[in-house]
Structure 1
Amino acid sequence: MLVRTATSEDWPAIWPFLHRIVAAGETYTYPRDLDEDRAHDIWMLGPPSRTVVATDADGTVLGSAKMNQNHMGPASHIASASFMVAPEHAGRGVGRALGEHVLEWARAEGYRAMQFNAVVESNTRAVALWRSLGFEVVGTVPEAFEHPTKGCVGLHIMHRFL
């Protein structure tokens, strides 16, 4: 698996799975009816932020991550990131490869920590992955996320020092 900087040529491969994941409404706080232009603006970040794709040996895009500073000014030393893995490629280590890459990027960029602001608590696979990569739940906003089948569930704030 190769993790590399995403280019505009990757967007046609990213959009279909990003759209499906967001429309399902189970893991992201984005509007379920997010249109392609707005999704592109949200996901395809330019410097100093970065968007990457994970590809297989054939160049198939398996997943993507975007990374950026979490806050500005005196809190700009904390990074953040978001991840999406194409559902048909789940369980193959794509999320872990993207997570490890993002952590390496944040260290190299001089960030002191990484914080995820809204990890849906019912997304147990993601929570377990981030815990295995050293993140801790530092707080949970109760009933902050309206899951389409589980009702209102919490949003974890997850953090780790770099």
Structure 2
Amino acid sequence: MTVSIRHATEADTAQILAIVAPILAAGETYAIARDLDEAGVLAYWFDPAHEVFVAEEDGTVLGTYYLMANQQGGGDHVANCGYMTAPQSRGKGVARTMCRHSLARAAERGFRAMQFNHVVSTNSRAVALWQSLGFHIAGVLPAAFHHPVHGYVDSYVMFKTL
């Protein structure tokens, strides 16, 4: 699989929506309202603070991510990202490629670290991927996420110095 990553454009909106909307509606990995309409999903993903990218192959969007400052002021040197992969592309290295790209882009932008604030503990594939890329669990938020299947589960704060 040859995946390229580029900034998202307006022409990508439909493909991004097709990836992001079902994941948010499932409510298993993001602490976001599950009942957002299309406009709400797009407003979230394309928030003005987000630099949005797509991972594609032959014009098909396989995944998308955003990069932003995790905090303002004294915390603005730490990046934050959100990643989503199309169902048919999972397990093929797309998320790994996006994360590597985001780490390089964050460093280019002058960030000194990257932090994921709310990695749901039941999302074991993501936890393992982030750890394989050098992130460590900096903290456990007990029962901080209400999972629609598993009930209240822990979330992790994951961190990597760039």
| Same fold by TM-score greater than 0.5 | yes
Q: Give 2:39's aligned amino acid.
A: D
Q: Give 2:38's aligned amino acid.
A: E
CA-to-aligned-CA distance 1:63-90 (integer Å, 9 cap, x gap): 0000000001111101000000011110
CA distance in 2, matches of 1:119, 1:20: 18
Counterpart for residue 39 of structure 1: 41
1:19 aligns with 2:21: yes
What is the deviation of 1:110? 0.7
Percent sequence identity is 44
Q: Give 2:12's aligned amino acid.
A: D
CA-to-aligned-CA distance 1:116-152 (integer Å, 9 cap, x gap): 0010010000000100111001011111111111111
What is the deviation of 1:155? 1.0
Counterpart for residue 77 of structure 1: 77
CA-atom RMSD, angstroms?
1.1
CA distance in 2, matches of 1:67, 1:149: 29
What is the deviation of 1:23? 1.0
5+ residue gaps in structure 1? none
- Report matched runs for 1:2-151 at 5 Å: 2-46=4-48, 49-56=50-57, 58-151=58-151
Alpha-carbon contact 1:45-1:66 (below 8 Å) kept: no
1:158 aligns with 2:158: yes
TM-score scaled by length of structure 1: 0.95
CA-to-aligned-CA distance 1:92-118 (integer Å, 9 cap, x gap): 100001000000001111111000001
